Amino acid sequence: MERLFQTHEIRYTEDLEGIWEFQKLDGDFTGCEPCSEKMLVPSCWEMDPSCRGYRGRALYRKVIFTKRKSNLRLVFKGVSHTAEVYVNKKKVGGHYGAYTPFSILLPDAPEGRHEIELVVDNSFSEASALHKENDYYTYGGITRPVSLEYLNNVYIEKVFFTPRRCGNAWEAQIRVELHNLCGKPATLLCKGQLGRHISLDFGEVTVPAGRKVSFEKSFVLQDVKEWSPESPALYLLKMALFFMNENYPVDDWIDRVGFREIQVSGNRLLLNGRPIFLKGYNRHEDDPQFGCALPLAAQMRDLALMRETGANSVRTSHYPNDERFLDLCDSYGMLVWEEAHARGLSPEEMENPAFESQSRVCIQEMLENHYNHPSIVIWAVLNECSSWDERVRHHYESQIGQIRDFDRTRPVTYASNAHFSDRCLDLADIVSYNIYANWYDDQDAWEKLKSLQEWTRTHGGEGKPMVISEFGAGAVYGFRSMGREHWSEERQADSLQADLACYLQAPFLTGAFIWQFCDCRVTEGNWSSRPKTQNNKGVFDAYRRPKLSAEDVKKAFRQKDGSFQKIM
C-alpha cells in the first residue's frame, strides 16, 4: 500500500511488494550472480538474522511478465541508501538517498518476461555525503513500497495544489505537468474534480512530441472546509486526461489535499489566520523489529502515542518521511516540520564533492513528492551543520533558496546548535535552536533561553518566530533510581519537567519539540558509546514503552493550548 488512498482509477498499476530473490554481494555486480536467499520488499535487510549488522551491497531480483508492449515505470518510494537499477541486465537508472522516492521510465517495453535487479548499498564512503556514521542508523534494503505503472503515451506526471485564502473563499491554484512519450504532438482535454461536487475544467492542452509541458489554473471556491488540527478536512483531487471527442479518460492522477494557509506574522506562526504553538516530538523512523521500514500500523501506533500525550506536531528529524506517515498526519491534523536529509555535518564533510548534488536531489524530491500534504507547515534543512562557520553559509543560502524557489507558501528554517555564534539566522524565516540546558549543559533553561533570545535579536533573528527544535535528556528504560543519576528515568523526568516549564511558557516562543519521541538505534563506531548503542532520549523506549517522563509530558502538553488566544 503506497498511500492511504487510491492514487489511480484509470492508470493500471501493479504492487511489486512481496518476496524478492536476494544475495549479499562481495565484489562487483556482474549480472550473473545466483540469488540463494530471499528478502521481503519492503523491509530492512537487518531484520533477517543473517544481515543483522550488515553494511555493504546486496542484489535484489524480481521477474515480471507484461501482457503487451507498454510504457512501463518502476516507482520506488525508498531504497536505503544507494540503488543501481537493471532491467534485463541493462542498467536503466540509479538513486542516492534512502528517504525520497524515485522512478525509472521504460518506454515501449516489449511484452513478456522482464528481470528487474537492484544493487543496493548501505555502506559509508566518500560517495555518500549524507548517509554516514551517525546518531541514528542507516539501514539497508528496499525499505519503502515499490510499484509498476503502465503509462499511456501521454500521461500526467505531477499535479501541485496550492490553497490560498481569499476573504471568506479559497483559491485553489493547480499546476499540472504532462509528458508526451510519442513521436508526434498530442492535443487532449484535461479535467479535474475536487471532492465529490467541484468540477475543474482546464480545457485543451497540446503537448509537443517527446516533451513535457506544465500549465496551471486557479479556481476560487466558496463553501470549502478548511484543514486544521481540530478539523483536518481533506479532499480528493482527481485529474483526468481525455483525447478529443472521447468520453473515456486515457490517464488519471489522484491526490488528497487540504485548504489551509500557514504564515509568519511577526514572531508568530498563523494557521488559517490564527496563531498556533507547535508542541511536539522529534521522531526517527526507527523500530527494533522493522528498522526504518515501519509498516503502516506501526506508524499509526507512533502517531497515536504522540497525540495521546498531547502533541500537535512532529519534526521528521533528520530526513523526509514515508508518505504514508505524512498521509496519517494529514488525516489526523498533526502538523509536520519536514526536513531534508542532513545531520551534524562539518565544513570538511560538506566539502565532499557529492554533498551539493546529493542534497539538491533530496530537497527537490522532497518538495515534488510531499508538496501537497496540508500537514507539512515548515520545511527545514541542514540540522546542526556548522552554521557558525562562514565557510558553510553558502550551503544554507542555496538550500533555503532552493526551497523558496519552489514553495513560497511555507516558512523555511534549520535547527541550530550554534548558540551565540550562528552566522546564518538572517536566511531563515523561523529561528530554531537545539538546546540541552538540563542534560549536556546543566544550566538554567530560562536563563539560557533569555540570553540566547537577546543575542538572536541582533544577529539575524529580530522579529522572527523562534522555536526550540530539540530539548531533552537521556534515560535507559527500566533504570529507576532515587539517586536520580544520569540515565535514570527519574533524571530524565526532572530534566524534561524543567525544560517543559520553560519552553511551553516562554511568551516569545512559537514551538518546542522534545528530543525525542522514542529511543532509536545509532551506528556502530563513534556512536556506540551510547548505552545499548541507542540514542536513549526517547520519552518512550524503542518498543514504545513509556518512561517515567511520559506522564509529565502528557500533562504539560495537554495543559498548553496549541492555539494562542492572542498574539503576545
| Binding footprint of ligand ADA on the chain (CB under 6 A) | 135, 317, 343, 383-384, 417, 434, 470, 515, 535, 537
Give 71's strand partners.
Answer: 151
Residue pair 363/342 in contact (Cβ under 8 Å)? The answer is no
For the bound state, the minimum distance from the C-beta of residue 434 to ligand ADA, rounded and expressed in Å, comes to: 4
Element (H, E) at 75: strand 70-76
Residue (21 or 470) nearer to ligand ADA, CB = 470
Q: How far apart are CA 162 and CA 337, in angstroms?
A: 18
For the bound state, the minimum distance from the C-beta of residue 440 to ligand ADA, rounded and expressed in Å, comes to: 7
Residue (317 or 413) nearer to ligand ADA, CB = 317
For the bound state, the minimum distance from the C-beta of residue 284 to ligand ADA, rounded and expressed in Å, comes to: 8
Residue (202 or 515) nearer to ligand ADA, CB = 515
What is the SS3 assignment for 74? Answer: strand
Secondary structure (DSSP) of 420-489: TT-S-GGG-SSEEEE--TTTTS-S-HHHHHHHHHHHHIIIIITT--EEEEEE---B-TT---TT--TBSH
Nine cell digits for residue 102:
524515485
Residue (130 or 176) nearer to ligand ADA, CB = 130
Nine cell digits for residue 33:
550472480
Q: How far apart are CA 522 and CA 531, in angstroms?
A: 10
Q: How far apart are CA 71 and CA 182, in angstroms?
A: 10
For the bound state, the minimum distance from the C-beta of residue 472 to ligand ADA, rounded and expressed in Å, comes to: 7
Q: How far apart are CA 115 and CA 63, in angstroms?
A: 4
Residue nearest to ligand ADA (CB): 135
For the bound state, the minimum distance from the C-beta of residue 16 to ligand ADA, rounded and expressed in Å, comes to: 33
For the bound state, the minimum distance from the C-beta of residue 384 to ligand ADA, rounded and expressed in Å, comes to: 5
> How crowded is residue 176: how many other Cβ atoms within 10 Å of its Cβ?
21
For the bound state, the minimum distance from the C-beta of residue 9 to ligand ADA, rounded and expressed in Å, comes to: 41
What is the SS3 assignment for 197? Answer: coil
For the bound state, the minimum distance from the C-beta of residue 535 to ligand ADA, rounded and expressed in Å, comes to: 5
What is the SS3 assignment for 120? Answer: strand
Q: What is the 3-state secondary structure (H, E, C) of 80-114?
A: ECEEEEEECCEEEEEEECCCCCEEEEEEEECCEEE
Q: What is the 3-state secondary structure (H, E, C) of 236-250?
A: EEEEEEEECCCCCCC
Nine cell digits for residue 401:
533558496
For the bound state, the minimum distance from the C-beta of residue 469 to ligand ADA, rounded and expressed in Å, comes to: 8
Residue (179 or 315) nearer to ligand ADA, CB = 315
For the bound state, the minimum distance from the C-beta of residue 401 to ligand ADA, rounded and expressed in Å, comes to: 23
Residue (267 or 417) nearer to ligand ADA, CB = 417
Residue (43 or 534) nearer to ligand ADA, CB = 534
Q: How far apart are CA 188 and CA 165, in angstroms?
A: 31
Residue (151 or 311) nearer to ligand ADA, CB = 311
For the bound state, the minimum distance from the C-beta of residue 496 to ligand ADA, rounded and expressed in Å, comes to: 13
Residue (100 or 417) nearer to ligand ADA, CB = 417
Residue (58 or 345) nearer to ligand ADA, CB = 345
- The backbone torsions φ and ψ at residue 370, rounded to the nearest 5 degrees and listed phi first, read -115, 5
Nine cell digits for residue 301:
501506533
Residue pair 224/170 in contact (Cβ under 8 Å)? The answer is yes
Residue (117 or 135) nearer to ligand ADA, CB = 135
Q: How far apart are CA 366 and CA 358, in angstroms?
A: 12
In the sheet that 82-87 helps form, which strands lie side by side, from edge to edge? 37-41, 18-25, 57-66, 112-121, 82-87, 90-96
